[in-house]
């Protein structure tokens, strides 16, 4: 009996999933959002948390860790034990940060679990701006190259989207480091930038009160709650950028724990009440299991890599 107990203890040390997967989760879970509170990814995770807590039976604590276009927060998860108690709610910026030379690693250094929801960036100006349409903004940029102050989160997906629009329209903007969604919205409202493109959830309240004017969506289709706003694709500019928002764990996260989190997330994000709340915040659910999510990330990573190789992202990491 003593020999068996000793052997079992040794196996649990070698294979932690044997000891923890069966009763996971048995304590609160920390989810790191690598952007400021109030941004789109933060809104998604905080809105989802109560529904996910119900499915997992444990409290979820959300911690915002800003920096390096999302890489600073992701690093905390990269270094955490692979036990499922420290997770990341990451998005497209983790990939762009790597290719633009801001991040030292990308999504494949972690364990993708599932995608939760998506949001669209919305090209936006203040209500007192003389620009009423996208063409007005582009005409001003053509007339004054590198003079239009375009607020972005340097190295993040928002930066990439701004570069993509400039290339598609053959114009040159003056990109200004203005932070994540919430901070870019504040910068625009305060007159510190001329134009920016926060996530739809960050601006919807200001659109409804008439303080901001949305001009176009960077999404592939029109945004919930902002159906009156055309997409850039509709206007003839191929500058759409998908903003997936999914859960990741440290490398080596056991399959059993991945499955438990993914199954719980599927039930949470398809809860009609959550779907309605998210829709009212101009965002939408988009559950993908690990296999589907990984395939989407691979495709997006390859697209960004080709973009970088073409010299369109400066600086960029192209030796992979």
**Domain-embedded: residue 227:** no
Q: What does the pLDDT average to over 144-151?
A: 95
- pLDDT at 10 exceeding the cut of 80: no
How are beta strands 284-288 and 122-126 bridged, if at all?
unpaired
Q: Which residues contact 13 (CB under 8 A, 6 or more apart)?
A: none
198: left (phi over 0), alpha (psi -120 to 50) or beta: beta
Please give the model's pTM, rounded to 2 decimal places: 0.83
In the chain, the number of structural domains is 2
Does 139 lie in the same domain as 115? no
Q: How far is CA 197 from CA 145, 178, 188, in A?
A: 19, 11, 10
**Domain-embedded: residue 232:** no
Identify the CATH number of the domain in which residue 153 sits. Answer: 3.40.190.10
- pLDDT at 26 exceeding the cut of 50: yes
What domain range is 153 assigned to?
122-217
Does 164 lie in the same domain as 26? no
Q: Which residues contact 188 (CB under 8 A, 6 or more apart)?
A: 124, 125, 126, 151, 195, 196, 198, 212
**Domain-embedded: residue 7:** no
The secondary structure of 50-107 as a DSSP string is HHHHHHHTS-EEEEE---GGGHHHHHHHHTS-SSSSEEEEEETHHHHHHHTTS-S--G
**Residue that is last in its domain, among 171, 200, 217:** 217
**Domain-embedded: residue 224:** no
Does 304 lie in the same domain as 168? no
Does 32 lie in the same domain as 115? yes
**Domain-embedded: residue 9:** no
Does 207 lie in the same domain as 279? no
**Domain-embedded: residue 51:** yes
Tens of pLDDT, residues 99-141: 878 888 889 999 999 999 999 999 999 999 999 999 999 999 9
**Domain-embedded: residue 10:** no
Tens of pLDDT, residues 63-99: 999 888 788 999 999 999 999 999 999 998 888 888 8
Does 186 lie in the same domain as 45? no
**Domain-embedded: residue 175:** yes
Does 296 lie in the same domain as 152? no
Does 204 lie in the same domain as 261? no
Does 148 lie in the same domain as 84? no
How are beta strands 195-196 and 86-91 bridged, if at all?
unpaired
């Amino acid at each position: 009996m003593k020999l068996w107990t000793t052997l079992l203890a040794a196996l649990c040390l070698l294979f932690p999933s044997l000891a923890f997967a069966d009763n996971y989760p048995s304590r609160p879970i920390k989810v790191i959002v690598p952007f400021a509170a109030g941004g789109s990814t933060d809104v998604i995770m905080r809105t989802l948390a109560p529904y996910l807590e119900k499915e997992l039976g444990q409290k979820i604590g959300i911690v915002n860790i800003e920096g390096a276009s999302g890489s600073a927060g992701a690093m905390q998860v990269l270094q955490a034990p692979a036990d499922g108690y420290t997770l990341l709610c990451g998005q497209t910026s983790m990939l762009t940060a790597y290719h633009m030379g801001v991040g030292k690693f990308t999504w494949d250094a972690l364990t993708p679990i599932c995608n939760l929801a998506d949001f669209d960036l919305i090209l936006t100006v203040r209500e007192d701006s003389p620009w009423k349409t996208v063409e007005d903004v582009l005409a001003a940029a053509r007339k004054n190259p590198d003079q239009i102050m375009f607020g972005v989160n340097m190295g993040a997906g928002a930066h990439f989207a701004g570069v993509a629009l400039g290339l598609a329209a053959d114009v040159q903007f003056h990109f200004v480091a203005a932070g994540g969604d919430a901070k870019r919205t504040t910068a625009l409202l305060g007159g510190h930038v001329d134009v920016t493109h926060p996530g739809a959830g960050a601006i919807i309240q200001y659109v409804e009160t008439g303080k901001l004017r949305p001009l176009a969506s960077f999404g592939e289709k029109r945004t919930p709650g902002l159906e009156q706003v055309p997409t850039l694709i509709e206007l003839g500019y191929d500058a759409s950028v998908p903003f997936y928002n999914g859960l990741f764990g440290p490398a080596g996260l056991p399959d059993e724990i991945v499955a438990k989190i993914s199954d719980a997330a599927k039930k949470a994000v398809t809860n009609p009440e959550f779907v309605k709340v998210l829709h009212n915040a101009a965002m939408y659910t988009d559950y993908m299991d690990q296999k589907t999510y990984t395939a989407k990330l691979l495709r997006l990573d390859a697209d960004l890599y080709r973009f970088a190789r073409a010299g369109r992202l400066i600086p960029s990491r192209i030796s992979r």
